[in-house]
Amino acid sequence: MPTFVLIPGAGGSAWVWSRVTGLLSEAGHDVIAVDLPGDDETAGLSRYTELVVDAIGPRSDVVLVAGSLGGFTAPLVCERVPVRELVLVNAMIPDPDETPGDWWAHTGAVEAQEEAARAGGYGPFDVATYFLHDVDAEVVAEGEPYQRAEADVVFGSVCDFTAWPAIRIRVLVGADDRFFPVGLQRRVARDRLGVEVDVLPGGHLLPLVQPRLVADYVAWFTTPPGAGRGA
């Protein structure tokens, strides 16, 4: 049975996966949500990678799941430990030697975000509008103690991996994601991974909005060890 290892996005709080980890654990799965020092100005992608690798330890049957900014840590982990399958959830998909700061211009993410905002009529960026618009108020309140800002250092941190691994990679996106609109994610996944996205209803914080659907998706189509990308 694989271990599900979950990487958070900006800020590094494992709490964002709390509802998914609970459901996976209840189903009898081994699951680890890694907390990362997102607010530490001395940390960066290399430190994030070390922490995920340390959390995996000697486990050799791993399904790695990464959300948002965690997409930049995922390929670095895959070069360090054996990973059966990779699942990206509303995630940034880097090219080798790209930084998170450069990703925006390279992918046209700002323009896509602005175009989606004009079409949707929800205006310029703010946290409530772009991240919390579909998250239950009780969940938002519960998560406040766990939230922290992402330090600037990571946005200049180079994702120095060689290539995406030859394993199955699945990309899950929220149909209502205002931060990374679905059209942007679909295009980047095709261009950089050759993968078609799977879409669920919900916004950027999909693991908090649709935990049951995300947990089922993560656990459902796991592949035998050694199967290649797209298998």
Out of 3.90.220.20, 3.40.80.10, 3.40.50.300, 3.40.50.1820, which CATH number does the structure's domain 3-220 have?
Answer: 3.40.50.1820
Cα separation, 132 vs 126, whole angstroms: 10
Cα separation, 186 vs 96, whole angstroms: 19
Structural domain spans, the chain: 3-220
Angle at 211 between CA 69 and CA 61, to 5 degrees: 70
Task: Identify the H or E element spanning 216.
Answer: helix 211-220
- Map tokens 């938002």 to a residue: 140
pTM: 0.94
Per-residue pLDDT of the chain (231 residues; tens, 9 = 90+): 899 999 999 999 999 999 999 999 999 999 999 999 999 999 999 999 999 999 999 998 999 999 999 999 999 999 999 999 999 999 999 999 999 999 999 999 999 999 999 999 999 999 999 999 999 999 999 999 999 999 999 999 999 999 999 999 999 999 999 999 999 999 999 999 999 999 999 999 999 999 999 999 999 855 554 444 544
Give the up-direction half-sphere exposure of residue 133: CA atoms within 13 A in the CB hemisphere. 18
Other Cβ atoms less than 10 A from the Cβ of 45: the count is 23
